[in-house]
Chains A and B, each alone.
Chain A
Amino acid sequence: MTPIPTSATNSVRAQENYARRLVHQLDQSADQLPHAVLERLRAARVRAVASRKSHVPQTAQSFQQMGSSLAITPNDGSSSWSKLISFLPLLALVLGLIGIHELQNDRNAHELASIDQALLLDELPPDAYTDPGFLKFLSLPNPQNADNR
């Protein structure tokens, strides 16, 4: 009979040896699985590997699309989605130009309206500005006229 070591290291080693002999028995159990179970496992494995096939190309394609859209370069035309992404910057530029044009039109109209409003609200009739005599009167340096107004 083998003498019994007392050190903790030997005890741990013996524990691991026992565990490995135990799982060796479990290996035998796993090798004796029924045929139906083995077939189900095989089918599951095949399905999983097929699933990998369908996922990996999609991932690669998505990276390709991302790269083409970032570079703003036309794709090979195989994907309508990539075409749409390529046109987005152009669409944004056109919409921006239209917006700027409308804004400038509004600003000009507002300026003209404010001038018209000032003329209409003034006590002096607008026709006075077309009278040459009135214009000459305005050019005269006469402070009394200004005070009387």
Chain B
Amino acid sequence: MASELELADFLKGVEKRAFKRSLYHVRDEEAALDIVQDSMMKLAEHYADKPAGELPMLFQRILSNTTLDWFRRQKTKNALFSNFNDFESTENGDEVDFLEFSSHTQDTEMSESAENTVSQAQNLQEIEQEIKKLPARQREAFLLRYWEELDVSETAAAMGCSEGSVKTHCSRAVHALMTALKARGIHI
């Protein structure tokens, strides 16, 4: 059973990413904050007796479900319902060579100059825009797998799908991001 300190530390460590992740989906800061708060409450109220090691996967699943509930409510209200229905990704036939990007970045060195800082901020905005453009399931798989650092089976459990689907979603998401960022002239 997770202690009070363990729960507080876990939430503190995950809250920023949870907010950003929710924001990428709903694109509304207030709604994203509400979703994160609801998710924290649900975790604390219903799963406080679970071991600390189970909290990450449980929280990610709760956050996903709470986000989905938000979209359902929005749909019921006939409010703006953006692209969350787009769960099935379209086939992207463009082959992208990851190694081209990999080798490119190996030659690039980070600079802390003011110009670079501004440039990085702009790049960051463009990266976030491209992440928002991803189909919902691809975005979810990508963020859970790589940002939340869940393994494939945990990601599958959190998303309620098979491990094969997670791998496919992740692969397509990275391909799409790489293509789009390359087109914008952003090399990571």
Enumerate chain A interface residues (CB-CB to B < 8 A).
1-2, 4-5, 10-11, 14-23, 25-31, 33, 37-38, 40-42, 44-45, 47-49, 51-53, 55-56, 59
- Chain B 48-75 against A: per-residue CB contact (8 Å), 1 yes, 0 no? 1100000000000000000000000000
Q: Are A28 and B124 in contact (CB under 8 A)?
A: yes
Q: Are A37 and B33 in contact (CB under 8 A)?
A: yes
User: Is there a chain A Cβ closer than 8 Å to B90's Cβ?
Assistant: no
Of B12, B145, B188, most buried by chain A (CB within 10 Å of CB) is: B188
Minimum C-beta distance from A41 to chain B (A): 4
Instruction: Give every chain A residue within 8 A of B105 (Cβ-Cβ).
Output: 21
Q: Are A1 and B103 in contact (CB under 8 A)?
A: yes
User: Is there a chain A Cβ closer than 8 Å to B161's Cβ?
Assistant: no
Instruction: Give every chain A residue within 8 A of B177 (Cβ-Cβ).
Output: 22
Instruction: Give every chain B residue within 8 A of A1 (Cβ-Cβ).
Output: 103, 107
| Chain B stretch 124-145: residues in CB contact (< 8 A) with chain A | 124, 127-128, 131, 142-143, 145
Cα-based distance from A14 to B102 in the complex (angstroms)? 7
Q: Who on chain B is nearest to A10 by CB?
A: B99
Q: Are A2 and B103 in contact (CB under 8 A)?
A: yes
Q: Are A48 and B127 in contact (CB under 8 A)?
A: no
Q: Are A25 and B171 in contact (CB under 8 A)?
A: no
User: Is there a chain A Cβ closer than 8 Å to B166's Cβ?
Assistant: no
Q: Are A23 and B146 in contact (CB under 8 A)?
A: yes
Q: Are B98 and A41 in contact (CB under 8 A)?
A: no
| Chain B stretch 107-160: residues in CB contact (< 8 A) with chain A | 107, 120, 123-124, 127-128, 131, 142-143, 145-147
Cα-based distance from A37 to B37 in the complex (angstroms)? 12
User: Is there a chain A Cβ closer than 8 Å to B86's Cβ?
Assistant: no
Partner of A33 from the list B4, B19, B171 (CB cut-off 8 Å) is B19
- Chain B 19-38 against A: per-residue CB contact (8 Å), 1 yes, 0 no? 11000000001000100110
Cα-based distance from A59 to B1 in the complex (angstroms)? 13
Cα-based distance from A36 to B94 in the complex (angstroms)? 42
Cα-based distance from A20 to B149 in the complex (angstroms)? 9
Instruction: Give every chain A residue within 8 A of B100 (Cβ-Cβ).
Output: 4
Q: Are A22 and B188 in contact (CB under 8 A)?
A: yes
Q: Are B178 and A40 in contact (CB under 8 A)?
A: no
User: Is there a chain A Cβ closer than 8 Å to B97's Cβ?
Assistant: yes
Contacts known (A40-B33, A44-B15); A52 close to B103, Cβ less than 8 A: no
Q: Are B4 and A53 in contact (CB under 8 A)?
A: yes
Cα-based distance from A27 to B106 in the complex (angstroms)? 20
Instruction: Give every chain B residue within 8 A of A53 (Cβ-Cβ).
Output: 4
Q: Could you list 14 A-B pairs, sorted by A, with CB under 8 Å?
A: A15-B174, A15-B175, A19-B145, A19-B170, A23-B146, A27-B147, A30-B20, A33-B20, A44-B15, A44-B33, A44-B40, A47-B41, A48-B43, A51-B44
Q: Are B98 and A52 in contact (CB under 8 A)?
A: no
